[in-house]
Chains A and B, each alone.
Chain A
């Protein structure tokens, strides 16, 4: 049985896996339903607001809107999940056992990440599917017509964007994985991820232009830009703080390769004393 498949077997049954999935599904699902409820509760809506709600809660535009929601939540939850699970390889001493059995350290580290990446991608797909269902419910609550969810062009584009979101998400989680494995600490991984997430949200508003330019190429930004989402009507596509989707995808892959290379080298060199 290959290491990656065994990895899925050992991580699938962890409570952290189920809890992370429940949190992601609940957040995305409830927020989308609440959007519909909020719209229906408001007395009068400005046209632009109405178009935003319609974009999010009717099809086929909901494919983009829900993916934007899903990708942002999956990013932070996926990062924390990967850091948590990877950290326990150190704290439980299971990496030590594998190495003492003659397992290649770098191979083990890469295979472990591959298992986690597969689980994260499954989580993304499940959350997205639940999000689409929640958007339909939210749209119904808001009094919108469902639209055309079966539009083959839109479905095809949605699948491509989902795949791009998956690549971005895996690249993003590889950052949390690398920090945890290099620092041999769950808290280092989780703490850095949360800190970076907060800075990535509030940073661009306060930072000098030169630093903002760097922010565009950091994992959170490229993971988001790589999807190539069309915003709601009236929004400016390709804002000053984003980069071309294809370039973003390339940068995301570069981050993924870089993070895994750093992890592999660090795990090969480190002393396992715990």
Chain B
């Protein structure tokens, strides 16, 4: 348990409903200062609702929010002077230039000096187009400007909703480097994203939310280690025999065939037993054409957010798994 001074965001039993639709069902977040925190969850899990609550756009039904060591509610807008946010799609006055948008928004909240505007335009690579109307900007340029807007008041805490959306590869790398640098400087970056490999590359800590509740939270390395997996690729006709061997090795661990046509089998086995797995299969005359040890964020995410298997009606023929899973709100 971190102390209040070292915690950038702490929510306790945070609940929010829209009518009968429950968006958050008791969220307990704890985001330490000076880290990049990846906030993950399927569509409708409550990520955007959380962002809106953290920026005072909406009120919780119950629960508390503490930000930067102070209890936050809508009467404490001053706390947001140290918070920068990019929520949902970036919003601007389309008839104004990038520079004018930053100047106009710089007059809201805590005053921002003009020099800061030019500094940010250069940082996000828009200085050459700073006088162009935003209505002429591409999605990626608008996203860059949104990031500049979020950083306008040199915030201690950055809340970013899908910040890499629309960015080109160079922009994504630059964003990642910037966010890591900010965290190294002691600032806290709270990133909600669906691009799991991107989060895996930049986040120190992740929290995964599903159906309005946090399902796990912790340092990324530890979470991935706790979910250690060994994946082997074999000939499809050898799947049943391989399953028996791996099930024996996994003990209580889960074993499943992920892509039946190419027979990737995933077994929850400690990473350091990968060689043992390979040997056991080889002794049974099953030679793996691929073997991977360790977990990735995508696998972890899918395991933690997958809905329970259907107990009644079988899946509709042709239904694609994943599109309708986990949508709570």
Contact = CB atoms under 8 A, between A and B. Distances in A.
Interface string A72-94: 00000000000000000000111
B96 A10 contact: yes
Given A2-B107, A108-B108, A272-B58, A102 B91 contact: no
A6 B63 CA distance: 37
- Contact residues of B: prevailing secondary structure: loop
10 contacts: A3-B108, A92-B92, A97-B149, A100-B57, A101-B109, A102-B81, A102-B109, A103-B108, A271-B57, A272-B57
A13 B77 contact: no
B133 to A, nearest CB: 9
A97 B105 contact: yes
A15 interface: yes
A159 interface: no
Interface string B59-86: 1000000000000000001111101010
Q: How large is the interface on B (under 10, 10 to 19, 20 to 34, 35 or more residues)?
A: 35 or more
Interface of A: 1-3, 6, 9-10, 13-15, 92-94, 96-104, 108, 271-273
B108 A92 contact: no
B325 interface: no
B55 A100 contact: yes
A98 B80 CA distance: 10
B136 to A, nearest CB: 14
A93 B79 contact: no
A262 to B, nearest CB: 19
Given A93-B91, A98-B108, 13 more contacts: A1-B103, A1-B111, A15-B95, A97-B149, A99-B56, A100-B55, A100-B57, A101-B80, A102-B110, A103-B77, A104-B77, A272-B52, A272-B57
A108 B104 CA distance: 12
A101 B92 CA distance: 14
A13 B79 CA distance: 32
A100 B104 contact: no
Contacts of B111: 1
Contact of A271 (B58, B91, B100, B108): B58
